[in-house]
Structure 1
Amino acid sequence: MTTWQSIINLKGNYTSEPIPIPISADGVLSKVSWESVESIGSKIVVQTRFTRDNLNWSEWQNCINGAHIPDVVEDVGFYNVSIMFRILFMRNTYDEIPEFRDITFYFEPILLFDNKGDKSCSPEIWITKQGNGDFSIINTSHNNEEFKFKSLIHGETVFVDNENQDIETSLAVTYRYKDFNNNYLSFPVGKNILRVTGDADIKFRYQFTLLQ
């Protein structure tokens, strides 16, 4: 709706082009942050919206600086997503000049382990390391509990039977117990949002426990 304030050029806006996000994952952890200068009597509002099919867009939502991106839910699949942002400028007089400097979007892919059983699940896991270094899985939905190995070798495959607390490696005459933080995986009932650090191919094998 046209207002007197917009007619006399005290309001303005900028709308970005669609920005494709090259991530395919069970979900993402997200954050939006920006730098701006708002003089007394002026205001800047940042809004975002997104699409999963390049046709149907969500409604514009106001953002909070340093918080997650509105409507981007951690445990919802993140595929073929594009995002747009809009900057709204408002001021009361011509002497007030709000300044918008930059904006940053952060997306971190997550794994979703949905335990549909009636008891905690302790899966078997194979970890094939890409590049030398550490590897960890952090359960962000359960007290940030961390399962971690240090100093794995490129191409090495580590097998962990979390139920029986057994660890094997493809390397000869090598034992990885000393490089493990002794926190075996145990996923509570429901959705477990997992943050993975360290480049590796991983595979789970598990069976849900149902109470009769």
Structure 2
Amino acid sequence: MARLQDRQVEGSGHIRTFPAIRDDRVSAMMTWADMARMRGWYVSDALPIMLQSDGALSSIQWEALTPQGTSVAIETTLSLDGGHDWTPWSACVNGGGLPGLAPETYLGNAHVRFRALLQSGEPGVTPVLQRVRLEFAPVFVLRNEGDAACRPELWITKQGEGDFAIRNLSQGNQPFRFTALADRETVYVNNERQYIETDLAVTERYGSFNDAYLELPRGVNLLRLEGDADVRIRYEWKWLQ
């Protein structure tokens, strides 16, 4: 017994990255309002995320000069409704994900703000926040509600020449990958039958494939697409009788 699922994914390879905030801009905006405690704040504007995907893998990184006795801490807050309501400020780990943001959270109307707390224990010695980088890599959620794993059919239309890959983050991050696809080429893959077909004349794509056919285990599958392409996915839930 099976149930058919059909899904179109477009423009899925793009990563949303905000320009780094550099030290000359930050230094101009930092105000040491409480000199007795030698601490200062910087709060960013609301930055639109607005990814048209099921969710995203987020990361935040920053660079700072912190002489002995000084520190820089970063916190973030999120709005999922265009900036009306905001989550409480949460402390970040440098190089980690945004706290409280699950990969499957829809970000179509989302915004983020960050704030930096600069502190010093020595008069005349101050830290400098040099840059902050926020990155959101879109993911797509496929739920296999059947009793067994399934292998989908894929139609991949490449945008621009180059490689294309799908990583199932719920299954060890192993890539399903094609190399050197042509611009506007459409490749059909039946993962169950291990069959590949291209719309280019006198061309086969088995040699461009890494032979890692895509499988969707039971439950939630987070797919990360790498490379610019439009993708149609069709799969069946399977129930054991």
Band the TM-score falls in, shorter-chain normalisation: over 0.9
Equivalent-residue separation in structure 2 for 1:45 and 1:27 (angstroms): 26
> For 1:39-58, what aligned pairs fall within 5 Å after superposition?
39-53=67-81, 54-58=83-87
Whether contact under 8 Å (2:62, 2:130) holds in the other structure is yes
Name the counterpart of 1:177.
206
Report Cα offsets for 1:7-39 as digits up to 9, x if no partner.
725222111111112422111111111111222
1:203 aligned residue (232, 235, 238): 232
Question: What amino acid maps onto 1:43 in structure 2?
Answer: S
Q: Does 2:36 align with 1:29?
A: no
1:91 Cα deviation after fit? 2.0
Whether contact under 8 Å (2:154, 2:232) holds in the other structure is yes
1:86 aligned residue (115, 128, 132): 115
Question: What amino acid maps onto 1:195 in structure 2?
Answer: R
Whether contact under 8 Å (2:50, 2:107) holds in the other structure is no
Equivalent-residue separation in structure 2 for 1:93 and 1:133 (angstroms): 53
Equivalent-residue separation in structure 1 for 2:239 and 2:181 (angstroms): 35
User: Secondary structure, in 3 states, of the residue corresponding to 1:178?
Assistant: helix
User: Secondary structure, in 3 states, of the residue corresponding to 1:28?
Assistant: strand
1:138 Cα deviation after fit? 1.1
Question: What amino acid maps onto 2:166 in structure 1?
Answer: I
Q: Unaligned regions of 5+ residues in structure 1, if any? A: none
Equivalent-residue separation in structure 2 for 1:146 and 1:115 (angstroms): 19
Runs of 4+ in 1 over 4 A off after TM superposition: none
Equivalent-residue separation in structure 1 for 2:118 and 2:127 (angstroms): 7
Equivalent-residue separation in structure 2 for 1:180 and 1:42 (angstroms): 51
Name the counterpart of 1:164.
193
Q: Does 2:40 align with 1:12?
A: yes
TM-score of the aligned structures, taking structure 1 as reference length: 0.92
Q: Say how many residue pairs are matched.
A: 208
Name the counterpart of 1:103.
132
Whether contact under 8 Å (2:175, 2:212) holds in the other structure is yes
Equivalent-residue separation in structure 2 for 1:150 and 1:102 (angstroms): 34
Between 1 and 2, higher relative CO (CA 8 Å, sep ≥ 6) is seen in 2
TM-score of the aligned structures, taking structure 2 as reference length: 0.82
1:95 Cα deviation after fit? 3.0
1:141 Cα deviation after fit? 2.1
Name the counterpart of 1:61.
90
